[in-house]
Amino acid sequence: MLTCGLDIGARSIDIVLLEGGRIVASSVTETGISPRENALRALAALLTKSGLEPLQIARTVATGYGRNAIESANRVASEILCHAAGTSRLFPQARTVIDIGAQDSKIIRLGDGGMVLDFIMNDRCAAGTGKFIEMAAAMLHLSLEEAAESALQTEEAAEISSMCAVFAESEIIGLLHKGIPRAVILRGIFRSIARRTLGMAGRFGLEKDIVFTGGVALNQGIVEVLKREARIREILIPPVPQITGALGAAIFAERDLAGR
């Protein structure tokens, strides 16, 4: 019997199917303008691709900002708890989770067994999220991959002082008009995001081992700047960093079935 975790985010719909604690299938697809329909379509496609049947799913748990849109889910679960459970399954030694997605960013402090000891979340401003990176890359006429590579080509970083994405956009335009190279601007943007994210951890600090999840963890430019700003040598990144929350949701579905 399978359990299913659905994480409906602002940018992606992430799905994990578990059997006996093992990931048997997963997918990451665009959320689009119809989260519910796209989530159900993505699940159907994943089942077909994996040679599985809907009736093999014993229980489904949904999480993410669109979790309440999935009426077929048996229940919903907190993003924080799901990310903690998913990260702990992949990295049992983890003590800090840094998650940066399209819409929000969060830092979670973990105890033994993935227990959430504390967390802080920013979901009110785009300046520290993947959406800000997308906006900046578009302004500089670069793909996300090109933006990441560009930021790795320089040690110099422009000063991005605005704490608001809207004002930061004007700041970027001003830097371009001054002839500042795109690589230097991007390095500054990544440094701004890293500092904003790390500033969130001021209340409880960063305890090793640190795991970086969310779609932004695929951006090597951000990873390198984050390590430099945090003055650490290593940040652990899951093979598919977007699915951590969905994995946690599927784990909760397993625990429900086991009566735990």
The answer to whether 101 and 10 are in contact (CB under 8 A) is: yes
Residue 168 has what pLDDT?
A: 76
Q: Are 87 and 211 in contact (CB under 8 A)?
A: yes
CB 122 within 8 A of CB 128: yes
User: Which residue is associated with the tokens 């659905």?
Assistant: 6
User: Measured in Å, how far apart are the chain's first and last C-alpha atoms?
Assistant: 17
The string of pLDDT tens digits covering residues 211-256 is 999 999 999 999 999 999 999 989 999 999 999 999 999 999 999 9
* Mean pLDDT, the chain, whole residue set: 91
Question: Side-chain half-sphere of 55: how many Cα atoms within 13 Å?
Answer: 0
pLDDT per position as a tens digit, 155-181: 999 988 766 666 777 888 899 999 999
Phi, psi (rounded to 5 degrees) for 235:
-125, 130
Q: Cα–Cα–Cα angle for 127, 131, 135, nearest 5°?
A: 90
pLDDT in tens, 74-120: 999 999 999 999 999 999 999 999 999 877 889 999 999 899 999 99
What number is the average pLDDT over the span 4-26?
95
Average pLDDT for 200-211: 87
CA distance 218 to 11: 14
Q: Strand order in 105-110's β-sheet?
A: 116-122, 105-110, 96-100, 210-213
Q: In what order do the strands lie in the sheet with 12-19?
A: 22-30, 12-19, 2-8, 57-63, 75-76
pTM of the predicted protein model: 0.91
pLDDT in tens, 139-159: 899 998 999 999 999 999 998
Domains and CATH numbers, the chain: 1-91+242-260 (3.30.420.40), 92-237 (3.30.420.40)
Q: Which two tokens stand for residue 214?
A: 């969310």
Provide the pLDDT for residue 102.
Answer: 77
Query: Looking at residue 134, what is its pLDDT?
Result: 87
Asked, as a colleague might, if the bond just before 209 is cis with ω within 30 of 0, I would say: yes
From the CB of residue 123, how many other CB atoms can be counted at a distance below 10 Å?
A: 15
